[in-house]
Each structure stands twice: as structure tokens, then as C-alpha cells.
Amino acid sequence: MNTHRNPLSRIITISILFLLLFGIFAYAGGSQEVKDEKVRLTVGFRDGEALDSLAVDMAWKTSYMGLEFWHIVYNQLWGIGPSPDYDPVPLLATSWETEDHITWIFHLDEDAVWQDGTPVTADDVGFSLYYLPKAIPATYLGPGTDVASWEAIDDKTVKIVLNAAVNDGKYPIPLWTPILPKHIFEPYKDTFSDYPNEAPVGNGPFKVKEFAPSEYLWLEADENYWGEKAGVDEIVFQTFGSDDALYAALKSGEIDMITSTGASPQIAADLDKDPNISVIRSPGLNNLWISFNTYSATPLADKDFRKAFMYSIDKDNIIDLVYMGYAEKANSFIYPEMDTYNDQIPVYDNDLDKAAALLDTAGYTDTDGDGLRNDPATGENVNIELMVSSSATADVKMASLIKENLLRSGIEVTVKAVDLATYWEFIVSAKSDGYQAAIAYGDPGPNGNWVWNYADSQTGWNTAAYANPEYDEILAKMISAPDYETQKAYIKQLQAILAEDLPYGLLVRPESLDPVRTDRLEGWVQSMGGLTSYINPWTFSSVHPK
């Protein structure tokens, strides 16, 4: 196990002292009743998945601990409900309505309060939805968050006016945006992240008890929470320095579950043999792909080269060797089981003949007889740098296989493994030419319209630096479509354009494998993406003692 400061040790020490003191009182003839030990859920995280600050910044969306922290300390207006229906569930808002998908009215829960006792008001909602996307556009700007104005009709009713209509089917706006306390953040409305937020005041079922950056986050249930109370008293998010340490902690009972990255397929079968552990399999939420930096001054700017690159990859090989069969091929941002999936788009399965033909026609031939293709612009051997997060073990293995695959087409690949912070710094700044290609991922979920921002030339999520006016035009029409059938047609067009231009080369959709201790707790909530994810915070509130 890692050797950093551990909140579990402190908890155990306090418990022992309490019991010793109680023993003294009982021996003296006292009749005090021992209070039951607090019920605690302990969740294991890997290095690189933890928060190094609680400030409102990109880490709330890009780190696993950040994703799970803010969903249970801060509420959204609504959430995506559990499977199989994934219906919208009221949270801060009890109801909502719109006639034109531009003007939205939200009615807030009359009992909703901040953890400092201040009521949650329409001003808090309007303030958060208006300023957050403007202050941190790369993280919060997307469909339903481009707010033109807002008005507090009364303390518990807010009117949100968008700059353009947004129709997200059965789901209201906005997607994936926390509501923050205006009375705390108003001085920081242009930046938000300048406020250290060392003692967060949320409106969710849990509040922060103690935080050690990059090590652990200790949460406790808010006894004054205005909504449904959680089934545990405390949650500890604990970081471990290696997968071996993480799995050992699960086996020993030091932790109850592993965060949304779950277990690797290689270890899942071993863990499942433990009578106190169960590995729960769920459909995957993540699609993995190669993000091609089309801005980069490399052959990747040529879409025929990108197509040859993808035809050179053996996805079956990746599924067998990296995921031990616990994955399926991916060809689109959209999952195949969804009614918006376009089953007519090109599928880039392994085909070395097609790869060779594309490369030959584009002039990438072996001009010096060394078995490697040369760049017609420079005469040098083609060598593509493939970036990957060093903390993503499966991604590193996949990158190695891709390197082997591409050599069969005469293309050299250099795998560049970097820490997670550096990875995100490069990938969200494609036009800085800091990376050439990267293994990336997205988890569109049941209401995946936000995922199209990855190719929108106007947003910071576009890690491929891709720009296509036709795509942008259809995307705008899709977002404001008057009905769902029209919207589906536009979504299928978007898939066709991306499959042809290939700024992103889809790879695989892994299953979620969640190992949990079953000797103490129950009530795990299963969903697409497993027991915890950005669409599934329900486990943290529902899990309870057996």
C-alpha cells in the first residue's frame, strides 16, 4: 500500500480511543449505551485520478475523483436516472417547461438549502448557468449552456433564455453543470478557479470533512440535507500508488469498491474468486478512439493517411489481448443499441490491402528500401507520435499493439506516455501542435448530443482541431431540431461526415467491470458505465449496510 497519510488510520485511532474511554466509564458503573460505529463506504482511486484541489476547474470534469466529488457535494438541476430507462430525475428542480427550447422555466425544490443554511435560490441557478460556461468554456460550454440571460421570477423559479434553441429529446437543459452558491462565488464569476474552495459549501447529500490533495477526500453525510438521506454516514475516496495496491486493499477489506475505472479484465476473474467480492459487469460507457491532430504538420493532416492508419489497426487483436474479450468494436460516437446509430457509415476494420492502396495513391511509398514508408513532402520516414496517459494501463498496452499493427503497413509509431495532467494540457490545445495523435475517449451516455462538440470548430473540446462548415451547420440544425425524428436524421448525417473525414478513429467500447465487497454493504446501482460514473451517482446515495 502507499505510505501517505491515510484517513482510515486516523478513523481507527479515534474509534479505539473512544472505546477505551467508554470502558473506563462503564467500569465506574455508568450505563451509557455505545453508539454504533459510523457506516462508511471507502472507494479506491488510482494515482492520477485524484483531485489536487477542490477549486472549480477542468479537473471536475476530467479527473475521476472530480467527477464523483461534485455530483454528490453539489447538485445539478436534474440528473439522468438509472437504467434501463435513463429518464431525467428531478434534483434541485422539481419540474421544468419550455415552448420553444430557447426559454426554459425551472421550479426549484422549496426545501433546497446550501450546507451553510442559506436557501438555494433562482439567483444561484441563473448565476451558475450564465457565468460558468463563460469563465471555463472548455469545460462547461456546450448545448444548453449558452445562456443569453436569466431572470429570477421568484426565489424558487428561474427563467433561462438561451442564445439558440436546444432540443435534447426528453432531457432538459443544461447538461452536466453544477449549481454553485452565488453568495460565495460572485466575486470570482469571471474565473471561478481563483477561489480555492477549501471548505466547499454544497447543496448535495454529502459535505467535505477533510481533504489531502492527491491523496484522499473524506466526505460525511449532511445531516441537514433537504433531500433523501444517503444510506452511509461517510464516504472516503482513497488514492493508491499502483493497481496492485488497489486490488490488495479491496481483498483485505480496506476499501469497498474501486472507482469508475473498475478492474482490469486480467484481474477481474481473480477477484471474483474471493467469496467476499463480486465483479459486476455492465455495458460500457466509454468509447475509445484515436484523436488525430489535423492541425499538426504531419501526414495526419491528410484524411486518406488517417484512413490507412485505421485500416492498419487490428481491433480484434486489441479486444483479445488488452480486454480479454470484455469489449466490442466501436465505429461511431453513438452506441450501436441506440436508435440514433447510423449503421450505414464506413467501418474501418483491419484491412492491410485497403491501407496499402490508400498510402500508395497518396504518395506514401518506401523510396529508400528500408521497409518503411516515406513522407512525400520531406522524403523522411513517416513516424507518428501516439500520446497516451501513463496512468491508463490498458491504453498503454493498446498503444503498443497499435505500434506493432502500423509497422505492417510500413508506418513507424512512437508511443509517448505522459502523466495525466500533461496529457490533458496537450490534448485540449490541439492547435498548439503539442501532440500528433492520442488515445482518447468519450462517454456520450444516453443523451449524447454533447459529444458532437468534439468536432465543432467553435468549442474547446475539439481535440482534433477539426473544422468543417458543413458539419457545424448540421450540428446547429440538430441542436435546435423541432422534433426527435428530425433530430435523429441530423445525428446520422453527423456520423456519416465524421466517418468520411475521420478526425477521430473509433477503436473499442470496453465493458465496465466493477469489483465490490459484498460482506458489509449492498444497494449498488448498476447502469450503463457501471456502478459509478458521471451519469450514475446513485450508488453513493443508495448503498447501505446489509
- Nearest CA-CA partner of 359 in 312, 405, 313, 308: 308
450-488 residue pLDDT tens: 899 899 998 778 999 999 999 999 999 998 898 889 999
Vertex 15 angle, CA 12 and 20, to 5°: 125
The pair phi, psi for residue 408, each rounded to 5°, is: -65, -20
Give the model confidence (pLDDT) of 360-372 as tens digits: 999 999 999 999 9
> Around Cβ 97, how many Cβ atoms within 10 Å?
10
Q: 292 - beta bridge partners?
A: 437
Residue 175 pLDDT > 90, yes or no?
Answer: no
Full-model pTM: 0.78
Q: Which of 38, 34, 30 shows the shortest CA–CA distance to 11?
A: 38
Low-confidence winner among 28-42, 234-248, 403-417, 531-545 (lowest mean pLDDT): 28-42
| Mean pLDDT within 195-223 | 97
Whether pLDDT at 16 is above 70: no
432: confidence class by pLDDT, cuts 50, 70, 90: confident
All cell numbers assigned to 282: 455492465
pLDDT tens by residue, 370-405: 999 999 999 999 999 999 999 888 999 999 999 999
Which pLDDT tens digit goes with each residue over 335-360? 998 889 999 999 999 999 999 999 99
The answer to whether residues 88 and 143 touch, using CB atoms and an 8 Å cutoff, is no
Going from the C-alpha of 319 to that of each of 312, 450, 483, the distances in angstroms are 15, 27, 38
219 is written with which cell numbers? 466526505
- Contact assessment for residue 529 and residue 513, using Cβ atoms and an 8 Å cutoff: no
Contact present, 244 and 252 (Cβ < 8 Å): no
Q: What is the pLDDT of residue 36?
A: 56
Please report the beta strands in 347-483, taking only residues with DSSP state E, as ranges in sequence order.
383-389, 412-418, 437-442
Name beta bridge partners: 80: 88
The pLDDT tens digits of the residues spanning 61-95 come to 888 999 999 999 999 999 999 888 899 999 999 99
Q: What are phi and psi of 437, to 5 degrees?
A: -145, 155
Q: What is the mean pLDDT of residues 5-10?
A: 44
Give the separation between CA 515 and CA 262, rounded to whole angstroms. 7
Average pLDDT over residues 137-157: 90
Summarised one tens digit per residue, pLDDT across range 263-273 is 988 899 899 89
List, edge to edge, every strand of the sheet that includes 327-329. Answer: 327-329, 504-510, 287-292, 437-442, 383-389, 412-418
In this structure, the strands spanning 327-329 and 512-517 are: unpaired
> Which ranges constitute the DSSP H helices of 392-533?
393-407, 420-427, 469-479, 484-501
Distances (CA, A) of 274 to 213, 335, 419, 519: 32, 33, 33, 11
Read off the pLDDT of each residue in 154-181 and give the average, rounded to a whole number: 93
Q: What is the pLDDT of residue 143?
A: 73
Contact 426, 465 (CB under 8 A): no
Q: Which of 68, 41, 43, 42 is nearest to 54 (CA)?
A: 68
